[in-house]
Amino acid sequence: MVVDTDEYVGGPDSEKEPIAIINPDNLDNEVEQLQDLPLATDYEAMKDVIFPPLLEEPRILEDVHHTWTVESWRSMSKKEHGPVFEAGGYPWRILLFPHGNNVDQCSIYLEHGFEPTQIPENWSCCVQFALVLWNPNDPKLYTHHCAHHRFTKEESDWGFTRFLELRKMFNVPWESGNRPLCENETANITAYVRIVEDETGVLWHNFNNYDSKKETGYVGLRNQGATCYLNSLLQSLYFTNAFRKAIYEIPTQEEESMSNSAYTLQRLFYQLQTSETAVGTNELTKSFGWETRHIFEQQDVQELSRKLMERMEEKMKGTPAEHVLPQMFSGKIKTYISCINVDYESSRIEDFWDIQLNVSGNKNLLESFQDYVQVEKMDGENQYFAGDEFKLQDANKGVIFQSFPNVLHLQLKRFEYDIQRDTMMKINDRYEFPEHFDASPYLSEDADRSESWEYQLHGVLVHSGDLNAGHYYAFLKPEKDGWFYKYDDDKVTKATIREVLEENFGGEYKTSPNAYLRAPMQKKTPVLRQNSAYMLVYIRKTRLDNILCPVTKDDIPMHLRTRFEEETALREAKRKEKEEQHLYIGVKVITEQSFQKHGGTDLTSFEPDQAETEAAPRSYRVLRQSAMEELVATIAKDIDEDPRKIRLWIMVNRQNKTIRPDQPIMDLRPTVEETFQRAAAHRDQSLRVWAEVAEETTPEGEAIWPTYQSQLNGVVVKNDLILLFLKHFDVEEQSLNGIGHVYISKEKKVEELVPIIMKKMGWGDKLPSDEKISLWEEIKPTMIEALKAKQSLKAAELQDGDIICFQKTTERKSDKNILEKHLGLGDKDKQTPEQPVKKSDRFDDAREYYDFLHNKKTVKFHAHPTRCNAEKYQPFELVLNSKITYDMLSERVADRIGVPATHIRFWTVNSATGNPKTTVKRGVNQSLQLILNPSGYNQLSTSQRTDAFYFEVLDMSLAELDTKKSIKITWLSEGITKEDQYDLLVAKNGNIEDLIQVLVKKAGIPEEAEGGRIRVYETSSHKFYRELPRDYPVISMNDYTNVYAERVPEEEANEEEANNFIQVFHFQNEPNRVHGIPFKFLLIESEPFAETKKRLEKRTGFKGKSFEKIKFAVVKRSHFSKPQYLQDDDVLWDIATNDDDFLGLDHVDRTRTLRNGVGDLFLR
Active site residues: 228, 471
User: H/E/C letters for each residue in 300-338?
Assistant: CHHHHHHHHHHHHHHHHCCCCCCCHHHHHHCEEEEEEEE
Q: 3-class SS at 247?
A: helix
Q: To the nearest 10°, report the CA torsion of 793, 795, 800, 802.
A: -80
What backbone torsions phi and psi does residue 395 show, to the nearest 5 degrees?
Answer: -150, 160
CA distance 284 to 267: 9
CA distance 755 to 266: 67
Q: Are 804 and 726 in contact (CB under 8 A)?
A: yes
Q: In sequence order, what E strands does 477-628 have?
A: 484-488, 491-495, 531-540, 584-590, 618-623
CA distance 82 to 1076: 75
Q: 3-class SS at 595?
A: helix
Please provide the DSSP assignment of 794-854 as one string: TTTT--TTEEEEEEEESS----TTHHHHHHT-S-GGG--TTS---SS---SSHHHHHHHHH
Q: Are 1060 and 1082 in contact (CB under 8 A)?
A: yes
Question: CA Rg, the chain, in Å?
Answer: 43
CA distance 633 to 583: 20
Q: Are 183 and 60 in contact (CB under 8 A)?
A: no
Q: In sequence order, what E strands does 414-453 have?
A: 415-418, 423-426, 436-438
HSE-CB of 23 using CA atoms within 13 angstroms: 8
What backbone torsions phi and psi does residue 187 show, to the nearest 5 degrees?
Answer: -155, 155
In one-letter notation, the amino acid at residue 259 is S
Bridge partners (DSSP) listed for residue 716: 710
CB atoms within 10 A of CB 563: 17
CA distance 267 to 563: 10
Measured CA angle at 689 (ends 794, 686), to 5 deg? 130
Question: Which residues, including other chains, have CB under 8 Å from residue 268's CB and lie 6 or more apart?
Answer: 234, 279, 281, 283, 284
CA distance 250 to 311: 12
634-653 burial string, b = 16+ CB within 10 Å, else e?
A: bbbeeeebebebbbbbbbbe
